Structure 1
Amino acid sequence: MVVLRVVRGQCPATGARNHLSSVTATARGLPVSVPACGAGARCVQSSVSELTGSDTRMRESANAPIVRRHSLADAPALHAAVRASIDTLSIWLPWCHRDYALDDARRWIDACIAHWRDGTGFPMGIFDANGNVLGGAGLSDVDRAAHTANLGYWVADAHRGRGVATAAARHMARLAFDELRFDRLTIAVLTRNAASQRVAEKLGARLIGKRTHALAWQGRRAPARLYALEPRDLVPLD
């Protein structure tokens, strides 16, 4: 179980109201405080809300996967999921390579923990009820001044075609808009990756353009389609 304690108030640095002052996440009994802006403890705390389930098991259905933060204990499951999908994941994701090892999974989880601690990103894993890794989703390239972040997602081969990526991405978007108070998310997808484009479109994201050298791919920069997602765009569940 992961619990997010979200503190909002007025930011003395910007004057913004209903400003996210901090996030304290408790995972496996270990509290980790995440500063949400440069003002840090100087933010005036005016209200506190408890988020006790929306970042754990998604409520889309009773059998929905679980989206939560990684712990180091998840490294073997992450390694197994990546190794089982190495032929396809390595096509799209620069971090996935033929020699992907358990130490790579551990280093990634260490980086995830650091991002949460520093407030520079909010990566999560997608799990089934038995702790197997189905994929990952998260927020990166956080710009607190502009209230924006990038939304990314991936799913292991065995779990594709079941709506896992769409459900997890929608979950992360709701967390971004409702709890972290971002105003806009961007999604950059390689022009060759039709499946990830469909996920963005199912969320309601708007295509805002294309860039020729947007993303790293196969050792070079490759063209990508750029999508924007705002709270008003997010398509509700059927």
Structure 2
Amino acid sequence: MNRKKRHPTRRRTALRQTAAAIALLLLLGLLNGGSILPAGVLRSQADRQGCGAVRVVKTVGQLPVGRRCRRVYLSANENAVMMSTADLSVPWGWMGGSGAVLDCSGEGSRLHTALWTISHEKGRFAYFFGRVDDPEIQEVSFVYGYRDADGDLIRHPLGTSSLTSRRADWVRWGGRDYFVIPYDCDDRYIKENPGWFYPCVDGVPVSAATTVDSWTGTSLGD
């Protein structure tokens, strides 16, 4: 009995060609620094920053400015905290974006703080982030202002912005507590009222002269 030879249908042929094209694009993406998963991109970013291997502590979510498909992650190891983005590109997979690293290797600090500002076409967005090493601390906040000639802190009110994070909001990882505070910057107000951001512990400034430990700026370039 002779069997009829089955020829692939047009639909089946098209599906095979599409699958081959997708596989080729993924391969090209990997060769160009992309990754199938965001974790691969974060590892590459940590290598470039020289802070050693990190693990994701918190998936912050989509960056509210710039183009879509840009995710923000908080990663850490014993000596550093990294805030960074991973961008999803349809042809290339996940690609490395921008970010900031906070050095936490110093001994004796109760609190490590950082401010990452992100410039875009309509202004700036920011994240305060850091690590809390003192289990007695219940709240971390930031005030904006300047020190006068006598060393007193003169505060500039930030309107409805609440730059406060409480222990209930923190993420526990590796025996440490981590926080993230998003902040939609008002550039016009800041230009009219020059100053710095001062960290506070349980409502009290850390010290008379201490500002945010690390301050990093990035331009999206979208």
TM-score (norm 1): 0.29
| Structure with the higher fraction of residues in strand conformation | 2
Q: Which has the higher Rg, Structure 1 or Structure 2?
A: 2
| Structure (1/2) with the larger helix percentage | 1
